[in-house]
Amino acid sequence: MTKKLILFGVAFLFVFLLIGCDTASTTTTSTATSTDTTTTTTTETTTTSETTSGTTVSTTSLINLIPDECSSISINDGWIPVWCDEFNYTGGVDTTKWSYVVGGGGYGNNELQNYTNRPDNIYVDGEYLNITALNESYYGYDYTSAKIWTRYSETWKYGKFEMRAKLPAGRGTWPAFWMMPGSELYGGWPKSGEIDIMEHVGYDMNNIHGTIHTERFWGSNGRGGSASVLVTQDVVPQMLVAEEFHTYGIIWDETTITWLFDDHPYATVGYDAYFSQSALYDTTVDWPFNMKFYLILNLAIGGDWGGAQGVDNTIFPTTLTVDYVRVYQKDYIAGDSQIPHNPTSPRIVYQTGTTAYLIWNEAEDDMNIARYFVYLNGVPIKTTSVPGVRITNLKADFDNMIVILAEDYAGKLSDPLETMIST
């Protein structure tokens, strides 16, 4: 018992030292170790207070920080609008929110279009954003279109992301609403992840795809699903995506991503140590989604997938019409009153030599758990947003003490979970 108390005291001291030394920011959490180097944008304010763990968090409710443009958007199931573009203006896109991506080159998919920022290809008409693809000769390309992103203006970690749109029709079209990481924390694509909220290829009309790409699962091997299952299950009668407006979205949290069509969930992918020998790898290999991502909207022509059956030149001009793009988050700080329960039921999924993959039951909290601190023999080794960790530096021929603490978004720490891994 004395040994355990000493180890816990050392671990708790490390929490204070690690968090207290972090660079201050306007987001709600700061990073403990290099494994989880990004922060969570749950609220953005300069009014802060220090919590029991030393984390600086906002004292302003997220509901009081709703942007003026988003103030008329309903709050449902606790989802608070933190960013939106309602496209209720005219001309080019709002460059405080979006940046244009211009040029050709195939974009890694052998796409045929040259993206421009010309009004012919992209304009806002006071009600909708219109991205129009044209069949024309333009700087060596036979097609033009448009692509925009929030890469240089806004990124987010977790939330609900949605677009209401009417999609283009015709063989060769490939519209997409998707997300990429703000930094290549775990390496270049696909190691740091990609989240495809909505993709549609014109030769396969009314079949909506949602996919994630990671180091082991990418391209046609990506994980996700098709919204067509909603028709099969009689959840929706039909999908006429080029004739009607529909809402395409995801709910992304610490351990799962769920795809939505008109707010109906149709696929969920999450962290799973038992999936396809995932325990042989670090948690971020199959689940790198613990950092900020930015939004992308584009209409590609042709390409490896969109052009798999060629391009029908009689369809042009063809337009992706967007009613709005919205980002929601939940306020896990305001109203938080409880200290998290400690994680439970530690168990080893895989062990060889001085390497082991340890998982546990998620800690419970009245709001939500932000992360876990993991200590090996009194030394901090990782923070993780998922209830699992791969430990590679166990001491040989030794009863290694593992201590795990859960922290909620208000900075409150749980009691420790302690377990031994013998080598």
**Catalytic status, residue 194:** yes
From its phi and psi, is residue 338 left (phi > 0), alpha (psi between -120 and 50) or beta? beta
Distances (CA, A) of 369 to 10, 71, 254, 373, 375: 22, 28, 9, 11, 18
Q: Contact, 369 vs 357, CB < 8 A?
A: no
Task: Give the gyration radius of the chain's Cα atoms.
Answer: 23
- Of 37, 62, 24, 53, nearest to 410 by C-alpha is 53
Order across the sheet with 417-422: list the strands: 379-384, 369-376, 399-408, 417-422
- Break the chain down into helix, strand, coil percent, rounded to 5: 10, 40, 50
DSSP per residue over 119-154, as a string? TTTEEEESS-EEEEEEEEEETTEEEEE-EEE-TTT-
**How far apart are the C-alpha atoms of 79 and 68, rounded to whole Å?**
16
Question: Which one of 162, 194, 215, 254 is the catalytic residue?
Answer: 194
Question: Which one of 111, 154, 162, 199 is the catalytic residue?
Answer: 199
The strand pair at 318-329 and 80-85 is best described as antiparallel
**Residue 344 has what DSSP assignment?**
E
At 145, list the tokens: 């279109």
**Catalytic status, residue 199:** yes
Active site residues per annotation: 194, 199
